[in-house]
Structure formats: structure tokens, C-alpha cells
């Protein structure tokens, strides 16, 4: 083994946790859910940046705006409106609250919110499409407030739902609940995916594999990836201070999908209904706290 040169860690050194900040502006003497050692280990080994108490509070406030936005959307949704008008509502409400909609111009995404109807799994682009009675529609919002991101989505009924719509929305909601219930220090990312997959399959539904949950807070998408399928006890160990989304996309039919020519819209190959629910979850000493909490 090659001998490593010992470098003294000074106040002005780059912080070993990988934040890119000076040590004195970062881990030195900070109140964190876990010690500096864990921060350094998770940064080096997994590229995961754990959050401080102050970071968590900032994400919680961004989460509040995100949830209020979804409440406005829910009150507004009815047959006859366009998905573009949902975009306008989300965009204007986000700006009014001093935040920025993260989707706008993200990797070229042209709108401020994703709106995904029926067989659209995710990343639907708002446009002239008019909501019809019986549609299901997922609305995925991500405000950035003071540099912090919170990511949350729900699937709504338009008018009166049929039995298939009721089923896929119920099962998907239950899948998110089952995934979140696994979150505690010492559990693994694989435990989360396993619980989601088990519930989907029990109900003869399928789990989308191409899109996954993700670390969130300092950026829209951070490590780690949070798969919605997997095996118990596999994957990274959860520790306090981790913040990530769980956002299962569940199909009534087969899991296979294709992306439309717009480069974004993901659709089930068999055109079966697809639903999604998402929350931003913090790992705590006691288990978890949702930073975008709503009843499941």
C-alpha cells in the first residue's frame, strides 16, 4: 500500500465532507444530526451530502410552499381546464412566494411543473391538452427557496373516477406509504424498494424502473438513487441527516415504457394507467420526518 502524506486539516482547508466550502464554513463546529466522521464517509464513499439542522429547516420551508402549491392545484383541477393553466398557477404561486420553479429550463424542460395524465408516467409537459372527466393527473412541483429544493407530487382525480383509476391511485399511495415506513437509521435503500415492490406486486401492478427517487436539498437531483424495487438489507445504510425523495411510479399493466419525441413525456407501452406520489424524506434518530408531509 502506498503511504499517504498526512495533510493537516486547517480552518481554511477545503472541508473533507466534500461540500466544496472551507472547513470553518462547513463541518467545523457545526450542529449536525451525526458527527463529522459520518459526513466525510458518506461524501467520499457515496457522494451523499448530509444535511445540517439549518439545511433541514430551509428544506422544510421550501416543502411548505410546495404543499401549498399542490393544495391550490387540487382546488383548481376540474374537467375543461388545460394543463398549461396548471403550469401558470404553479409558476405564479411559486414566484409570489419568493421561490423559483426548479423544472423550468432544467436540462431543457420548457415548463415550471410536470403534469402527467393517465398513461403518462412522468415528465408530462403542460400544453393545450384539456382535462376530461375520469382522467387521473399527476402534478409534480419542486420550488427552490433560498437555494434549497423540496420535491413533492400527488395524483388527482378529474371529476368522477372509474374503478381502474381508483385502484391505481390507491395502490400507488399505499406504495409510497410502505416505502416511507421502512425509513430509519440502520435500514437500507434496498428495504425501501423491496417494500414498494412487494405492495405493487401483491396488487398485480408493476413498478417503473427507469425513473427513481433521489437525494435532494442542495440540488434537484443528488446521490443516492432511490430505487422503487430491490432486496431487503441491500444498498446503502440510512443514517440521520440524509434527505431523499421516494416517488414510486406504479402501472396498472406492464412496467415497460417509451419516451415521446418531445424527449420528456414517458408513457406506458401498453397504455395502461400509471400513478405516482412523492415526498421528500429526512432520516432522523427516531426514524424519519417528511419535509413535504401529507396524509397517505
- Where does this chain bind Co ion (CB under 5 A)? 140, 151, 153, 245, 247, 278
116 binds, among ligand MF3, Co ion, none (CB under 5 to 8 A by kind): none
Q: 10 Å Cβ neighbour count for 161?
A: 17
Q: Which does 279 bind (CB under 5 to 8 A by kind): ligand MF3, Co ion, none?
A: none
Please identify the residue of the shown chain whose CB is closest to the bound ligand MF3: 103
| Ramachandran quadrant class, 244 (left: phi over 0; alpha: psi -120 to 50; beta: rest) | beta
Q: What is the Cα–Cα distance from 166 to 171, expressed in whole angstroms?
A: 9
106 binds, among ligand MF3, Co ion, none (CB under 5 to 8 A by kind): ligand MF3
135 binds, among ligand MF3, Co ion, none (CB under 5 to 8 A by kind): none
Closest C-alpha to 113, from 62, 71, 151: 151
Instruction: Kindly state the smallest distance separating residue 124's Cβ from ligand MF3, in Å.
Output: 9
Smaller CB distance to ligand MF3: residue 110 or 253? 110
Residues of this chain that interact with ligand MF3 (CB under 6 A) are: 103, 106-107, 109, 114, 123, 140, 142, 151, 245, 247, 278
3-class secondary structure, 154? strand
For 136, the enclosing helix (H) or strand (E) is strand 136-141
Question: How far is Cα 183 from Cα 76, in angstroms, rounded to an integer?
Answer: 33
Rounded Cα distance between 214 and 247, Å, is 9
Report in angstroms how near the CB of residue 140 gets to ligand MF3 at its nearest. Answer: 4
Quick count: other Cβ atoms within 10 Å of Cβ 32? 19
Nearer to Co ion, 134 or 211 (CB): 211
Q: Which residues pair with 171 in a beta bridge?
A: none
For the CB of residue 191, give the shortest distance to Co ion in the complex, in Å: 19
Closer to ligand MF3 by CB, 39 or 111: give it: 111
Q: Nearest approach, Cβ of 153 to ligand MF3 (angstroms)? A: 6
Task: Select from ligand MF3, Co ion, none the partner in contact with residue 109, using the beta carbon and a kind-dependent cut-off of 5 to 8 Å.
Answer: ligand MF3
Please tell me the distance from the alpha carbon of residue 227 to that of residue 54, in angstroms, as a whole number.
28
Between 17 and 141, whose beta carbon lies closer to ligand MF3? 141
Smallest gap from Cβ 142 to ligand MF3, in A, equals 5
The residue among 151 and 191 lying less far from Co ion, judged by its C-beta, is 151
Distance (Å, rounded) from C-alpha 173 to C-alpha 205? 13
Return the SS3 of 160: coil
Choose between 265 and 268: whose C-beta lies nearer to ligand MF3.
Answer: 265
Hunting for cell 393527473 — which residue is that?
137
Work out how close the CB of 99 gets to Co ion at its nearest, in angstroms, rounded to a whole number.
15
Amino acid at each position: 500500500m502506498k503511504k499517504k502524506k498526512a495533510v493537516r486539516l486547517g480552518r481554511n482547508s477545503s472541508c473533507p465532507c466534500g461540500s466544496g466550502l472551507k472547513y470553518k464554513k462547513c463541518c467545523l463546529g457545526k450542529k449536525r444530526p451525526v458527527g463529522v466522521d459520518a459526513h466525510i464517509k458518506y461524501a467520499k464513499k457515496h457522494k451523499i451530502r448530509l444535511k445540517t439542522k439549518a439545511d433541514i429547516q430551509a428544506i422544510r420551508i421550501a416543502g411548505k410552499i410546495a404543499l401549498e402549491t399542490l393544495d391550490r392545484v387540487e382546488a383548481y383541477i376540474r374537467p375543461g381546464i388545460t394543463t398549461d393553466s396548471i403550469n401558470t398557477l404553479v409558476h405564479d404561486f411559486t414566484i409570489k412566494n419568493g421561490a423559483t420553479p426548479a423544472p423550468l429550463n432544467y436540462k431543457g424542460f420548457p415548463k415550471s411543473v410536470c403534469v402527467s395524465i393517465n398513461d403518462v408516467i412522468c415528465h408530462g409537459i403542460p400544453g393545450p391538452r384539456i382535462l376530461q372527466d375520469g382522467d387521473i393527473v399527476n402534478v409534480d412541483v419542486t420550488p427552490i427557496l433560498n437555494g434549497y429544493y423540496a420535491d413533492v407530487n400527488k395524483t388527482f382525480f378529474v371529476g368522477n373516477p372509474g374503478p381502474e383509476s381508483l385502484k391505481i391511485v390507491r395502490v400507488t399511495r399505499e406504495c409510497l406509504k410502505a416505502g416511507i415506513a421502512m425509513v430509519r437509521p440502520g435500514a437500507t435503500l434496498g428495504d425501501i424498494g423491496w417494500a414498494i415492490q412487494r405492495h405493487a406486486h401483491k396488487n398485480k401492478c408493476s413498478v417503473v424502473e427507469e425513473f427513481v427517487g433521489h437525494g435532494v436539498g442542495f440540488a434537484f437531483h443528488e446521490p443516492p438513487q432511490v430505487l422503487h424495487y430491490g432486496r431487503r438489507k441491500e444498498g446503502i445504510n440510512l443514517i440521520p441527516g440524509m434527505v431523499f425523495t421516494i416517488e414510486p411510479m406504479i402501472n396498472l399493466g406492464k412496467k415497460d415504457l417509451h419516451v415521446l419525441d418531445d424527449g420528456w413525456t414517458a408513457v406506458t407501452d401498453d397504455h395502461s394507467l400509471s400513478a405516482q406520489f412523492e415526498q421528500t424524506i429526512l432520516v432522523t434518530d427516531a426514524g424519519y420526518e417528511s419535509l413535504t408531509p401529507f396524509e397517505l
